[in-house]
Amino acid sequence: MSGQGYQGKKNIPRITSDRLLIKGAIIVNDDQSFCADIYMEDGHIKQIGENLIVPGGVKTIDAHGRMLMPGGIDVHTRFQMPDRGMTSVDDFYQGTRAALAGGTTMIIDHVVPEPGVSLLSAFEQWREWADSKSCCDYSLHVDITEWHKGVQEEMEALVKDHGVNSFLVYLAYKGVFQLADSQVYEVFSVIRDLGAIAQVHAENGDIVAEEQRRILEQGITGPEGHVLSRPEEVEAEAINRSVTVANQTNCPLYVTKVMSKSAADVIAQARKKGTVVYGEPITASLGTDGSHYWSKNWAKAAAFITSPPLSPDPTTPDYLSSLLSCGDLQVTGSAHCTFNTAQRAVGKDDFTLIPEGTNGTEERMSLIWDKCVVTGKMDENQFVAVTSTNAAKIFNLYPRKGRIAVGSDADLVLWDPDVTKIISAKSHNSNVEYNIFEGVEVRGAPLVVISQGKIVLEEGNLHTTEGCGRFVGRKPFSDYVYKRIKARSRLAELRGVPRGLYDGPVCEVSVTPKTMTPASSAKSSPAKQAVAGAQPVRNLHQSGFSLSGAQVDDNLPRRNTQRIVEPPGGRANITSLG
Amino acid sequence: LVWIGESDIPNKCDRLLVKGGRIVNDDQSFYADIYMEDGVIKQIGDNLIVPGGIKTVEANGKMVIPGGIDIHTHFQMPYRGTTTVDDFSQGSKAALAGGTTMIVDHVIPEPGNSLIEAFEQWRSWADEKTCCDYSLHVDITHWNDSVKQEVDTLLKEKGVNSFQVYMAYKDFYQMSNSELYEIFTFLGEMGGIVQVHAENGEIIAEEQARMLEMGITGPEGHVLSRPEELEAEAVFRAITIASQTNCPLYVTRVMSKSAADIISQARKKGNVVFGEPITASLGTDGTHYWSKNWAKAASFVTSPPLSPDPTTPDYLNTLLASGDLNVTGSAHCTFSVAQKAIGKDDFTQIPEGVNGVEERMSLIWDKAVTTGKMDENMFVAVTSTNAAKILNLYPRKGRVSVGSDADLVIWDSDAVRTITAKTHNSAAEFNVFEGMELRGAPSVVICQGKLVLEDGNLHAIPGVGRFIPCTPFPDFAYKRIKARKQLAVLRAVPRGMYDGPVSDFSPMSRGGTPSASARTSPTKQPVRNLHHSAFSLAGNPAQRGELQQPFDLPICLPIPYRRSQINNSSTGIVYV
């Protein structure tokens, strides 16, 4: 529990005199809530309890019985993201400021290497951007945008030396980022061996490409074409496929951006069947819907463009928040990736060119509180789980992040469940002109935000320091995920049936290979070892029915068939009587 | 009624009366006599007035059912220079012996070869040897514009209305998703039925390589490298594409519970999809792949494989009885042990296929009717009528009625026989149902108005089988497809031109993808017409503005609907 040497380069905050006492709070973790005082020093929580003995003269905040929670973790951001020479308008400074303003004290951003660029150099580039600008702790996912042997080596290096334990593959963006099923299989095998998490952007890119062309041919060029060409079935299909590959490779799966009911259903069903899969709805899919793509205002319609798209079914947000509450979906991100109207207008005559992404890092916590806690779908403990703790567990940051405990990082939020505010682009902390939640009234907001033991939000004022955010490295083989995976690997040994050599006649065949195919891709994937593979559920060698020798139905009147069973192929070729 | 067909008129003197039978169609059963002439049913009723001196068969109250239609066979299939051991003569004899009076075989053109040439080749083989009527499916093993032309010709001129595509057999038969999309689109417009061999070939190839690396070379490697999840995945994907392209889908060889579940779920969601379990998946399971006897284990090799879960046959029979699965075939494709032994050191080389054309009717009767899962009418539906409807041959085939073909079976529901390779009519040495005791068998089989099975004797004549052409747009599938097409018109939102600032960007493509493949695919119609559905899409800001009123509603509304769309108030910049 206590600070056992956490990874992270700049481990010690710059000002060592940071001491803070919060009195009279209800401490809310994902498992319980209790009243206590909390004392922190040097960015860590040092004491929790009543009547704490603390140095004199420390700054004290009186919580007046309000809830104190672990700061939010936004598992999915794309700050400062390059797209065709443009950059999303919220860089790491602006983006993390918005995050902190909303009660999020850590973000995990996506490194998107252009195909052809090395993963490591892209990773270093993102590190550099974030280290110089980020105002809160951060970590990085790395996206696999192409697949060959070199990529595998870089993934190993990233896991072993650079604190990355999650990689995203794309099933969409045909001809750019999209990987084929056999490549996905190989990537998942590598990821499992490294002990990382496979993230997937799930949409069937082949079908999307066909639909895009069809929609454009029909003369539909506006933002409504975006959602028409990416129906939710295509999202659900891709999730089903990635669940299948993950099962096959015994690799943990994490579905980013769950946007539709059918997609969420596929995840829920797979979990019921025992698959290790996690689903991430985002602020946008929990808070709004895709009816806006039909807005007569082009700029507004374009502001909602993201992939998979928001569902035109207006009951979707409610459905997703229900699944989030019952545990079928586990984590929430924002997929915050903002482009202003002039940038969106690159696609004014062709919706396929509109840069994709919506805002949500600032609104995430309040929106979930409003949709789920205020409505009684979840309690405050579950709220902490889906906004912070589960993310920390999946990505192996727990209990440093995601929990209020002695030794954990002093990233805290004092939550005010009664305050209401109206979301508006006029008052938000993002640089973007449109806010997709414009006019939504939400109840529940952070009153005080503490990041790295320092107060960054108080009385509505943000006190952020550009560049003070630390990169938090993440180790592989997160217990939360890999305990089950490891157990399954042990079960999944396969053995051949010991048989005598077949010595009967063998038919001559022409040389042309037919029907069956040899190994799929030229690239050898060393990842595939004997360990994992078949579902743990079925170990045929140990199950009830005997597989070798005696047959289940041997007791049936099959005895009279001895003559045929005996000599394998003993009877001569009875080909064609006709 | 005038039927098309080549050698349309059988022997003039073929007149036959079946007396005292209980006629069983898919909708009802009733007692009546049947008089047939020239291969066609002429009269049905009591006290028929018929010419004197005709042959009469006494049914003695037994059931008279439409002859079975085996919708999936691979007779005389070429395989790497050899041929399956049952040719069209041997195969159709076995079919007749089991009460099946029509088969539908698959034409498999080598990739790169002409579909029409392959079709003509199969026609000549079948015309020469078949003992019962037949039709042909054509498999699409590669795809380009000339194949498309050929498919068009086959549909319009050659009497083929169903085409199979493969999602497995990577680098050989396998189609990519975009090719599937184009094929489905095309067939959906031309009125064809898309059949799909559903397995994820990409993953299978990876798994096969892994098994072989681990030193597993025997038949058990076949099933280990093709787990049922891969079948279910492909079925799911095919359904997604079919739904996207508004094309009816037919899944051949439903072998596992999960695959069947996906089909029944899709049907509940309204997809036009049909599932075909085969004799083998309804009658036996994949435990035999672990048999110590290599030849026996190899005889069960087929794809998708039989499920190692021994409760699968029962499950599939239940779904067949409930109507979630609709038709049954045999996928009869038999190789000798010596042929199977091509893969004795490498399971991926074992030729695939099992027997089942002769056993199909009895097996379903035994597993589904004697157990009370289905009645005899449903039995007729899944063994004959539904297939006829899908092939657009109904009511010529698949029904006992005046004007229909005289393909009939007098069914003896009490007969019991034991399946064995010693007595079966196939040329294969192994029978995958070896030793099974089945209740229910044909006592008389009438094909083209002639008695071909009577008192246990088979009088099948090779070459009398006629090719029965199938026409496109079968009502059974296309009534719904057509209705959906009318609904599925998409319209753009009329907007003024955007005339605000536009960022500079490098034209290097990203995000939005250009068109998939070079080949053009003509228009397809989606299923969902968003413009007509209940929720308003053509944003009406005024109305949404009104929704802002109930902000101060008490929290007693647990479902936070009230706010879901209130995000319209204008921001600083508005481009109209």
Distance CA A310, CA A545 (A): 48
Q: What is the CA radius of gyration of chain B?
A: 27
Shortest distance between the Cα of A451 and any Cα of chain B, in A, equals: 31
Shortest distance between the Cα of A332 and any Cα of chain B, in A, equals: 18
Kindly state the average pLDDT of the residues A402-410: 97
* Composition of chain B by helix, strand, coil, percent to 5: 35, 20, 45
Contact A291 B229 (CB under 8 A): no
Contact A292 B539 (CB under 8 A): yes
Please determine, for residue A57, whether its predicted confidence score (pLDDT) is greater than 90. no
CB-based contact A429:A460 (threshold 8 Å)? no
**Which among A212, A297, A339, A354 is the top mutation candidate for probing chain B, defined by the most B β-carbons within 10 Å of its own β-carbon?**
A297
Contact B209 A520 (CB under 8 A): yes
Please determine, for residue A39, whether its predicted confidence score (pLDDT) is greater than 60. yes
- Give the tokens for residue B478: 């296309």
Query: Which residues in chain A have Cβ-Cβ distances shorter than 8 Å to B79?
Result: 514-515
Predicted confidence at residue A507, as pLDDT, reads 85
pLDDT, tens digit, 9 for 90 and up, residues A258-287: 999 999 999 999 999 999 999 999 999 999
Predicted confidence at residue B553, as pLDDT, reads 34
Up-side HSE of residue B132: CA atoms within 13 Å toward CB? 35
Banded model confidence at residue A18, pLDDT cuts 50, 70, 90: confident
Q: Which residues pair with B212 in a beta bridge?
A: none
Query: Which residues in chain B have Cβ-Cβ distances shorter than 8 Å to A577?
Result: 90, 427
Contact B565 A291 (CB under 8 A): yes
Size of interface A-B (CB pairs under 8 A): 457
Closest alpha carbon within chain A to B286: A547
- Give the tokens for residue B6: 């080549």
Residue A528 burial by CB count (10 A; 0-12/13-18/19+): exposed, middle or buried?
Answer: buried
Predicted confidence at residue B13, as pLDDT, reads 56
Query: Which residues in chain A have Cβ-Cβ distances shorter than 8 Å to B210?
Result: 528, 533
Shortest distance between the Cα of A87 and any Cα of chain B, in A, equals: 10
Residue among B524, B537, B561 minimizing CB distance to A291? B537
How many degrees, rounded to 5, is the angle at CA B19 between CA B16 and CA B21?
A: 120
Kindly state the average pLDDT of the residues B487-516: 70
Query: Which residues in chain B have Cβ-Cβ distances shorter than 8 Å to A234?
Result: 240, 244
Cβ–Cβ contact A568 with B under 8 A: yes
Closest alpha carbon within chain B to A506: B338
Contact B308 A538 (CB under 8 A): yes
Nearest to B340 by CA among B301, B376, B382, B398: B301
Please determine, for residue B569, whether its predicted confidence score (pLDDT) is greater than 60. no
Distance CA A275, CA A241 (A): 13
Please state at what angle helix B201-213 crosses helix A232-249, rounded to 10 degrees.
0
Shortest distance between the Cα of B284 and any Cα of chain A, in A, equals: 10
Please determine, for residue B552, whether its predicted confidence score (pLDDT) is greater than 90. no
Q: Residue holding tokens 């539904």?
A: B386
Banded model confidence at residue A521, pLDDT cuts 50, 70, 90: very low
Backbone angles phi, psi at B449, to 5 degrees: 75, 5
Q: Provide the 8-state DSSP code for A333.
A: B
- Give the tokens for residue A168: 């995203």
Closest alpha carbon within chain B to A427: B571
Cβ–Cβ contact A220 with B under 8 A: yes
Backbone angles phi, psi at A44, to 5 degrees: -120, 155
| DSSP notation for B306-354 | PPS-TTHHHHHHHHHHHTSS---B--B----HHHHGGGTT-GGGSPP-B
Please determine, for residue B510, whether its predicted confidence score (pLDDT) is greater than 50. no
Q: A115 versus A426: which is more confidently predicted?
A: A426
Cβ–Cβ contact A335 with B under 8 A: no
Contact B244 A234 (CB under 8 A): yes
Backbone angles phi, psi at A33, to 5 degrees: -125, 140
Cβ–Cβ contact A428 with B under 8 A: no
Shortest distance between the Cα of A162 and any Cα of chain B, in A, equals: 28
Predicted confidence at residue A7, as pLDDT, reads 46
Contact B241 A549 (CB under 8 A): no
Please determine, for residue B506, whether its predicted confidence score (pLDDT) is greater than 90. no
Predicted confidence at residue A508, as pLDDT, reads 79
Shortest distance between the Cα of A499 and any Cα of chain B, in A, equals: 6
Polymer length of chain A: 578
CB atoms within 10 A of CB A543: 14
Mean residue pLDDT across chain A: 87
Banded model confidence at residue B212, pLDDT cuts 50, 70, 90: very high
Cβ–Cβ contact A314 with B under 8 A: yes
Shortest distance between the Cα of B91 and any Cα of chain A, in A, equals: 9
How many degrees, rounded to 5, is the angle at CA B448 between CA B445 and CA B452?
A: 35
Closest alpha carbon within chain A to B428: A574
Query: Which residues in chain A have Cβ-Cβ distances shorter than 8 Å to B295?
Result: 502, 504, 568-569
Contact A574 B428 (CB under 8 A): yes
Contact B291 A345 (CB under 8 A): no
Query: Which residues in chain B have Cβ-Cβ distances shorter than 8 Å to A173?
Result: 510-511, 513
pLDDT, tens digit, 9 for 90 and up, residues A535-545: 444 444 444 34
Shortest distance between the Cα of A389 and any Cα of chain B, in A, equals: 25
Whether the ω angle into residue B313 lies within 30 degrees of 0, i.e. cis, is: no
Please determine, for residue A520, whether its predicted confidence score (pLDDT) is greater than 50. no
Predicted confidence at residue B507, as pLDDT, reads 64
Query: Which residues in chain A have Cβ-Cβ distances shorter than 8 Å to B166?
Result: none
Banded model confidence at residue B497, pLDDT cuts 50, 70, 90: confident
Cβ–Cβ contact A208 with B under 8 A: yes
Total-model pTM: 0.82
- Give the tokens for residue B426: 């196939």
Residue among A225, A494, A512 minimizing CB distance to B216? A494
Closest alpha carbon within chain B to A316: B564
Contact B500 A186 (CB under 8 A): no
**Which among A249, A358, A497 is the top mutation candidate for probing chain B, defined by the most B β-carbons within 10 Å of its own β-carbon?**
A497
CB-based contact A354:A223 (threshold 8 Å)? yes
Kindly state the average pLDDT of the residues A113-127: 95
Distance CA B255, CA B261 (A): 11
Residue among B202, B337, B503 minimizing CB distance to A568? B337
Q: Provide the 8-state DSSP code for A99.
A: H
With the CA atoms of A25, A29, A33 and A39 taken in that order, what torsion angle do they form, in degrees rounded to the nearest 10? -30
Please determine, for residue A546, whether its predicted confidence score (pLDDT) is greater than 80. no
The proportion of chain A whose per-residue pLDDT surpasses 90, expressed as a percent, equals 80
Please determine, for residue A559, whether its predicted confidence score (pLDDT) is greater than 90. no
Contact B503 A343 (CB under 8 A): yes
**Which among A193, A292, A575 is the top mutation candidate for probing chain B, defined by the most B β-carbons within 10 Å of its own β-carbon?**
A575
Say if the ipTM goes beyond 0.85.
Answer: no
Residue among A180, A353, A569 minimizing CB distance to B338? A569
Please determine, for residue B132, whether its predicted confidence score (pLDDT) is greater than 60. yes
Kindly state the average pLDDT of the residues A480-488: 93
Question: Lowest mean pLDDT: which of A19-23, A52-56, B287-291?
Answer: A52-56
Kindly state the average pLDDT of the residues B33-47: 95
pLDDT, tens digit, 9 for 90 and up, residues A132-175: 999 999 999 999 999 998 999 999 999 999 999 999 999 999 99
Amino acid at A296: K
Residue among B503, B535, B560 minimizing CB distance to A342? B503
Distances in Å between the Cα of B47 and the Cα atoms of B20, B44, B50, B370, B423 are 10, 9, 9, 32, 40
Banded model confidence at residue A522, pLDDT cuts 50, 70, 90: very low
Q: Provide the 8-state DSSP code for A349.
A: T
Predicted confidence at residue A338, as pLDDT, reads 96
Using CA of residue B259, residue B264, residue B268, residue B273, what is the dihedral sign? Answer: positive
Residue among B177, B210, B539 minimizing CB distance to A294? B539
Distance CA B387, CA B26 (A): 12
Residue among B206, B237, B297 minimizing CB distance to A185? B206
